């Protein structure tokens, strides 16, 4: 007999992971933007020197909760979690690959895996890959939680692009993902600047001061981005596009093969109630 509690249970399994991802989005936006909202006297001299460990702990906790809920829901299993770990380790190691133009090898694998497995997997892979790479390279500091949030956004964005390109021919899909990788490289750099830019208050045309209007803030940030960040980000963007063009077809085909194998093909429903003794005798 179906009860109201039985009907609510699948809905709760779907809703809880969604709430966790929404919390990640809210936390990420607040972490990057809150310096623009608080009074000048409350801003510390060093960028996020005091709150970075708290942000990292909250981000890490939400990732663990998200994976646990996905496993409980059945959208991830032991093999999927293992694959997430393997891809995160490989992406972390690829950060050691220095590309021309000061690019890095960590991004293209996150983009391709996100496109193959979807936005949620891409988001979790972005978080995990940056954490692993920080341990490997010794790059642990107040910037780390923001790098994790930025790469998670890139992985989720790649997953959304993959939903749109999955029906294209392999060549067209690789071209589309290469273009997306170029855009993601620029967007990642523009986002990452925000973790420290509000704290550089020298009063010049490239800095921000509390009380500055939105239009003036955007003009100052654009001047800062063009002068000090664009060249670096362009190298990252071009590196993403080139690596995806060179390896995208093979890696996507391999990852999608794993994605199809990991999809659940059987859903176990609750066993029907055993017939009563009298009913069995009548049958």
What ranges do the domains of the chain cover?
13-37+51-262
Where is average pLDDT lowest: 34-43, 91-100, 124-133, 239-248? 34-43
Annotate 182-239 with DSSP letters as a single string: HHHHHHHHHHHGGGTGGG---SSTTS--TT--HHHHHHHHHHHHHHHTHHHHHHHHHH
Fold of 13-37+51-262: Arp2/3 complex 21 kDa subunit ARPC3 (1.10.1760)
- Residue 276 in this model has a pLDDT that exceeds 70: no
- Residue 177 in this model has a pLDDT that exceeds 80: yes
41 and 223 in contact (C-beta within 8 Å)?
no
Position 77 scores a pLDDT of 84
Q: Which residues, in sequence order, are CB contacts of 88 under 8 Å at separation 6+?
A: 125, 128, 129, 131, 132
Band the pLDDT of 11: cuts 50, 70, 90.
Answer: low
Where is average pLDDT lowest: 31-40, 53-62, 85-94? 31-40
Query: Measured between alpha carbons, how far is 167 from 160 in angstroms, rounded to an integer?
Result: 13
CB atoms within 10 A of CB 199: 16
Percent pLDDT > 70 in the chain is 83
Tell me what the mean pLDDT of segment 195-205 comes to: 83
Tell me what the mean pLDDT of segment 150-172 comes to: 95
Position 10 scores a pLDDT of 56
146 and 195 in contact (C-beta within 8 Å)?
yes
Tell me what the mean pLDDT of segment 113-123 comes to: 94
Position 278 scores a pLDDT of 41
pTM to 2 decimal places = 0.84
- In whole numbers, what is the pLDDT of the chain averaged over residues? 84
Where is average pLDDT lowest: 111-115, 122-126, 213-217? 213-217
């Amino acid at each position: 007999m179906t009860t109201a509690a039985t009907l609510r249970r699948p809905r709760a399994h779907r809703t809880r992971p969604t709430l966790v991802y929404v919390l990640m989005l809210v936390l990420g936006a607040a972490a990057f933007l809150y310096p623009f909202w608080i009074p000048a006297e409350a801003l510390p001299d060093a960028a996020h020197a005091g709150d970075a460990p708290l942000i990292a702990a909250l981000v890490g906790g939400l990732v663990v909760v998200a994976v646990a809920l996905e496993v409980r829901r059945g959208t991830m299993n032991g093999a999927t979690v293992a694959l997430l770990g393997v891809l995160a380790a490989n992406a972390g190691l690829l950060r050691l690959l220095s590309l021309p133009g000061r690019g890095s090898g960590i991004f293209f694998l996150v983009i391709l895996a996100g496109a193959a497995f979807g936005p949620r997997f891409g988001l979790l892979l972005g978080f995990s890959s940056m954490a692993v790479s920080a341990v490997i390279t010794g790059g642990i500091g107040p910037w780390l939680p923001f790098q994790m949030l930025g790469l998670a956004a890139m992985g989720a964005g790649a997953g959304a692009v993959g939903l749109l390109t999955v029906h294209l021919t392999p060549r067209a899909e690789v071209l589309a993902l290469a273009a997306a990788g170029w855009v993601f490289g620029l967007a990642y750099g523009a986002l990452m600047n925000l973790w420290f830019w509000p704290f550089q208050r020298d009063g010049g045309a490239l800095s921000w001061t509390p009380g500055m209007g939105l239009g003036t803030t955007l003009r100052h940030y654009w001047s800062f981005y063009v002068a000090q960040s664009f060249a670096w980000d362009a190298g990252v963007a071009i590196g993403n596009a080139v690596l995806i063009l060179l390896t995208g077809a093979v890696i996507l085909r391999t990852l999608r093969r794993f994605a199809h194998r990991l999809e659940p093909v059987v859903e176990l429903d609750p066993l029907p109630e055993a017939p009563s003794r009298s009913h069995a005798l009548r049958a």
